[in-house]
Amino acid sequence: MSSPTDSTGYQFVDLSSNPKIAALTQVLRDVSAVKDPAEMLKAFGPWVGQRFPRDAFVSISIRDLPEGSYKITRSISHGPKVSPQPSPSGNPWIDWENLPTHQGGLIGKILKNGEPSVITGLDLTLDKPLFDALGPYAARLKSVTAMPAFDDGQPLNWSLSFHENPNWKDLDTFVAGLLDMNMMGTATRNLVFRKQAETLNEQLMSQFEQIAKIQRQLLPGRSPNLDGFSLATSYLTSNIAGGDYFDYIPLEDDRLGIVIADVSGHGPGAATVMAMLRAILHCYGDTQDSTNLDQRETSDVAEYCNRKLVHANLNGEFATAFFCVLDQNSGELRWTRCGHNPPLIRRHDGSIQTLESAGTLPLGITTEIEFEWDSCVMEPGDTLILYTDGITEASKLRHLSTDSDHDMFGVDRLKDSLHECTGQPQCAIDSIHQALHKFTHRLERDDDQTLVVIQRSVD
């Protein structure tokens, strides 16, 4: 059969006449698709049997057993008497605890030697573990090759190939078999680790989902109805559970307390601190000398939350926050900003104002902070935009990044997106999301992204 030649003059050597190459290619293809450790022997076994003929086979494991002890995990007999599998289900990893533990006999001597070996002149009639595994056919087996499969340098698993030939000494075949057995052992071990990792991942995901469910229940179920104002929110986490937090606290005299916060990091740890902050905030009125929360400034609330978080000893965790109180009658907005991104006000004429005043360190770092407050008036048509840094620090896809834009969305792009909307809360959120996607070209997020947008209605 001629070999194909391409336009460059290269000629492919014809390998089709070599059955071993075709067989090995098929084995490697089959093995690459195996996901279950118990299936590895079925996929790899025919190749090993072709390369290393034997009359019976026994596999041994000493993993996590006392010195000198072992378990027979699998046996195959090609003689007139076929014995049952030592592992009832055929999967020793599932049946491990039910498999009997043995000591002594031929296997005990092999384990004590600890090296690959060929042993001739066998008499297995009095070797109970092997006779039980192989049945009466064991009496006809006169030689064995013992091949260790190394795990982290230790011979934790062994493959014993038995022969009726009392003088079996084909060392070239032995070398090939030793290599094959260790390749199969490595592949099987990797699948065991993969199974363990998948099981652990499923357990962790279940825990994350439970945390996320609790966290979602801690957030407002719906936006409050405001007289003369409209409101919309967006809450998107980077993982199943996040560290962003927003909340509304109805106050007397048609006033509404609003908070947006961002715990350092994200994931379950951040979600736990977020739950702590919420609990602290909601306990504020019940733990003060005066329960008249309406007369207290936002700076007092911030001071209280900071003190409780510092005393909780969060080991480096902290939270940025923006506390504000909105008067629905006058449009007055009072706030205290604790390390949080300065909110924006899109005025009715389209100009953008940044609320940078009354700023302090984040919550949970130190009690040696003097908290202040500031205020302004939201006129009809003005829109307040509260956001977390997952918005401004959103990054591009790696292959689209450049040094000129530092790979982050930034405040300037956030402001530009607000010029592209009417100022109505949902329009503002949609415009910001569209600008984010246009910049990042990504649907996934590296950090939580939260938006709270409030507009004072035009009379």
CA–CA dist 110, 153 (Å, integer): 17
Strand 449-456 relative to strand 229-236: parallel, antiparallel, unpaired? antiparallel
The three-class DSSP label of residue 207 is helix
CA–CA dist 385, 352 (Å, integer): 10
CA–CA dist 87, 63 (Å, integer): 16
- The alpha carbons of the chain give a radius of gyration, in whole angstroms, of 35
Q: What superfamily would CATH give domain 19-197?
A: GAF domain (3.30.450.40)
CA–CA dist 13, 16 (Å, integer): 9
Q: What is the CATH number of domain 219-456?
A: 3.60.40.10
Per DSSP, 413 falls in state H
Would you give per-residue pLDDT tens digits along the chain (459 residues)?
555 655 667 887 888 788 778 777 877 787 777 777 767 767 776 777 677 788 998 989 998 999 999 999 888 887 654 445 566 656 776 788 889 999 999 999 999 999 999 999 999 999 999 998 898 899 999 999 999 988 888 898 898 999 999 999 888 888 888 888 788 777 777 887 888 888 888 887 777 777 777 777 788 888 898 999 999 999 988 766 678 899 999 888 899 999 999 998 777 778 888 889 999 998 886 665 444 444 468 999 999 999 999 999 887 889 999 999 999 999 999 999 999 999 999 999 999 999 999 999 999 999 999 999 999 999 999 999 999 999 999 988 665 555 555 589 999 999 999 998 999 999 999 999 999 999 988 878 888 899 999 999 987
The residues that bridge with 261 in the sheet, in sequence order, are 245, 321
Long-range contacts of residues 437-444, Cβ cutoff 8 Å, at least 24 apart = 439/394, 439/396, 439/409, 439/413, 440/394, 440/395, 440/396, 440/397, 440/409, 441/396, 441/397, 441/400, 442/394, 442/396, 442/397, 444/238
Angle, CA of 214, 219 and 221, to the nearest 5° = 105
Residue 143, H or E segment: strand 143-151
The three-class DSSP label of residue 76 is strand
179 contacts 161 by C-beta, under 8 angstroms: no
Biggest CA pair distance of the chain: 105
Q: Locate 312 and state its tokens.
A: 């909780």
380 contacts 456 by C-beta, under 8 angstroms: yes
CA–CA dist 38, 35 (Å, integer): 9
CA–CA dist 129, 72 (Å, integer): 8
Q: Return the closest-CA partner of residue 110 out of 66, 151, 150, 70.
A: 70
> How crowded is residue 378: how many other Cβ atoms within 10 Å of its Cβ?
22
76 contacts 56 by C-beta, under 8 angstroms: yes
CA–CA dist 84, 90 (Å, integer): 10
User: What are the boundaries of each domain within the chain?
Assistant: 19-197, 219-456
CA–CA dist 454, 382 (Å, integer): 8
